Amino acid sequence: MNRRQEKRDALEAGRPVPKYDDAIDWADEESSQFKYDPATLQLGLAGAAMHTTTDLLSKTILELLAQPELIPALRSEITEVLRTHGWTKVGLYNLKLMDSILKETQRVKPIQMITMQRIADAEIRLSDGTVIPKGAKCAVTNTSRLDASLYENPERFDGYRFLRMRNDPGKENSAQFVATSVDSLGFGHGLHACPGRFFAANEVKVTLCHLILKYDLELIQEASSQVFWHGFALNVNQEAKLRVRRRKEEIDIDSL
């Protein structure tokens, strides 16, 4: 409310209208004067961002502990890349095995089995004759992720899958974690694909670098990395327990 009053005062006084580079100002611009509660908007954005990122990070850690042979290779990559590039965008981009593991985790265990939820603003008739009535809620099923014609042994988690794909001509970019396509819907697709996926990818990579280098992690006996179904959602196993032990990291990443 204070911002809106400040903008009105500036207009009335003929001064430049102040602009803020944050989500509140962005929402105000996009709302087209539609009434909304900025606090509710902020809580919704924060909840969506934290929930999805935490889910992905938790599932990735459990997958790594279910396949601990991936951890030495990850440590080697992290050490080499950060020693060369430090905490830069180039450095995070070059964590290619980690990127592959994140994309494979999202493929095998996405946060939910549907994506691109929409409300039809007009009646839509599909090519097979199916009619989506105006006002109907609809979504796209995220089943291509298990299509054997796209992925060899699609039920099996393969941390190197998308790293190998990067070497296939024409797939150098589409195999990256943040890339979306009709065959990779973890972040949605098209105009309304998740705009925060680039930040989220870097955020999870930085966190994994600290966890993998600084700690030995182990699933306790009989703990499971399997997900729990709740409607369309594939929730991380919140009952899984880990052993955590501090280790001496190969490089001092806190000083980079």
Please check whether residue 21 lies inside any domain of the structure: no
Residues written for the chain: 256
Please check whether residue 14 lies inside any domain of the structure: no
| pLDDT tens-digit map of 122-169 | 999 999 999 999 999 999 888 899 999 999 999 999 999 999 999 998
Please check whether residue 34 lies inside any domain of the structure: no
Interatomic CA distance for residues 140 and 215, integer angstroms: 39
Interatomic CA distance for residues 66 and 213, integer angstroms: 18
List the CATH number of the domain containing 166: 1.10.630.10
Instruction: Tell me the residue range of the domain where 225 lies.
Output: 45-255
Residue 115 · residue 52 · CB < 8 Å: no
What is the domain count for the chain?
Answer: 1
Q: How many CB atoms lie within 10 A of CB 96?
A: 17
Please check whether residue 31 lies inside any domain of the structure: no
pLDDT for res 29 = 81
Residue 253 · residue 82 · CB < 8 Å: yes
Please check whether residue 9 lies inside any domain of the structure: no
Burial of residue 36 (number of CB atoms within 10 Å: 0-12, 13-18, 19+): exposed
Please check whether residue 24 lies inside any domain of the structure: no
Query: pTM value?
Result: 0.88
More confident residue, 30 or 73: 73
Please check whether residue 170 lies inside any domain of the structure: yes
**Is the pLDDT assigned to residue 102 strictly greater than 90?**
yes
